[in-house]
Chain A
């Protein structure tokens, strides 16, 4: 492994995340995956929206774009369409990605555009101090759910799968080697990839729900998850209320910008032929 610090804008450190926050772990995992693949820094563009998760790009020494709330995938779609050769990565959170940005998420997945999306899921709006998000489990507490959340939460990976993503995986800030492996595989998938990283927010999620500090939260995450490979051999009662981690879906289908380029080439050929046939001259050379 190379020197991962060189991937950071060290003059921007220290970061703003709270002590014990899991966002640094997830950001570190992304950097290690990039390092393993020896990606050219100048061919990587990292885009984020708004929220604690989205602050990550400010610390990363790549071409980065910090955009509007929920819109990272829309901006990233523009970048990928204009420059398909770039490795475009989106760093987002559960609030940013599934509430205000939910529509962009399902349509990016539906198009299978070659963007790698890392969703840091801490189950709460951290930056605005602990409101419940669409990924706060039912019954959990937030500043806007003082008697427990009455709404059901999304299963992000199921959502990604059913919307059309071609690589879907989940790991946690406890299972760091797994997280790095999955991000690495996601970066190699030509189509739309989603890696959900379950991370701890001790400041709001932990405190509001009396889970404890960072260590207790990591234990909570560890106890609440089962690797999908192990799960195959477990009886249903052992899987009750457990969250599956590991590679959950991997299927090759046409990537959007590649299909788009193929379409242009096909129509161009037809047009050239048409011009030649009808007017008996070569295509316009002006």
Chain B
């Protein structure tokens, strides 16, 4: 804390950062001030008036969500005077809210229920109002029942701040209603079904559609983990009931506005028990894949691998967890004794780029997106799109887009540099140097011939004015984009899969054949692990597929080893921005499925080697400190379309869950 303010809240002395509101300060002191409309991290609106408190020296109660702390303030949050205001407001809300806590899915986590209990309010003493609005339940994700709505506006503000801007108020006061678009159903609006409005709703007006009775909130076991669907690796809270996943939500604290997770992360969990799931080992007998035992499957694979004598190849997906990746590295080096192993990461990056430092979005006051098109609507880095739009709309950061195409994120940008990204970067760097920022002499020399455009000069003004710019680029453009960070700020390469950075640190990259060569073959045995963007059988004598899902590739295998899915795994990963995240097992693997690392050990055992006795390869580390100047080039061999890659990787999850409805809707819209 650079500038602390001390105050007293209900007799507790607390010291907080200048500029925070009373509601946040109270939270720090361990005092909860009731509220229905406040969203942490967002400007208070003072609508519900539940957060009223008394401040010494002030005649009238003040709302804690809109009042900033002052030195020496003495605040009382639970006096009879403010309790009466709270009772009055809650009593009125209860008069228009259906009194059916006994069947409401929100019971136990409903704020209205909680405060009504705290203030001893039962049935309302006011006239019962029954608006009788229609329930919206045509889509399989979000159920909206306006009769339960208390008009707090949290959903409207969450939807607006993340830039989706679908929900809004129609009308005023008690006659008003939250509507989407022009009052159309959600599926006809711009809604992406991220479901963050559901998390924000303090009552049961917005609920996740229940496929089956999932039990009451207090029966759920909650596990914090991370999503493996893309490089954002969003934090999740997984609710299980009787060992089955029943709900997935954002792991941010309740009432926090920075809670974005996308529809894949929230609703994809059903795919783990969907028809695409594979939960028993399979082997090919007479052209057909039949169920078999683990022992049989493992001894079959072990036999083929021993026979291949170092010629076997391994390809793995980029969402393999750190611990599993290290086990696989040990297996490849110490058991299979092959140099031919590689991962999907090499399709869009190399370990050199993946071992560079990440970035801190929160610290940035200018975000420079180079050649990236995060997009909530196509669900390519949707969380990055939402995070950027949120920072732009709350004026925490500005956005500069350098992109050759037409990305939707440019609507949030202050300046867009169109045309070839490398050319734009050269012009931008030159324009920034012209403004007097220090640059390495090689860079000045390399840019001697460049004349910046007017747009580039404007962008340079923006860049020079920023305190902490953060440059984000795919690996193909990272080297060129990082030159900008030599002038100011930081740069991070954004990989497309959940643990690309972790896999690079584990050194899962053999000296032999690369991914494409291994797919082209020929090889005596190919061991294909995890989610892979392959639809046809690689040229190999014996194909072993180890996956949680019956993908196209698994359908072509000789042996299929059932692996644990994301929510069934334990371990850690390093996300696209370089943060380490824990992945915790929320439920037991389906059927006989096992986690990847366990399968590697069992397979080694079947080959007569104990994996625990193989020397650990040791990880590789991130090069700290600024890299030197590199030429302005695009590594076009890494130019792949992330949308296609990500779509292929998560196809099984989508097709095995209600996300299939959404995919169908998008295909219809596109046609």
**A and B interact physically:** no
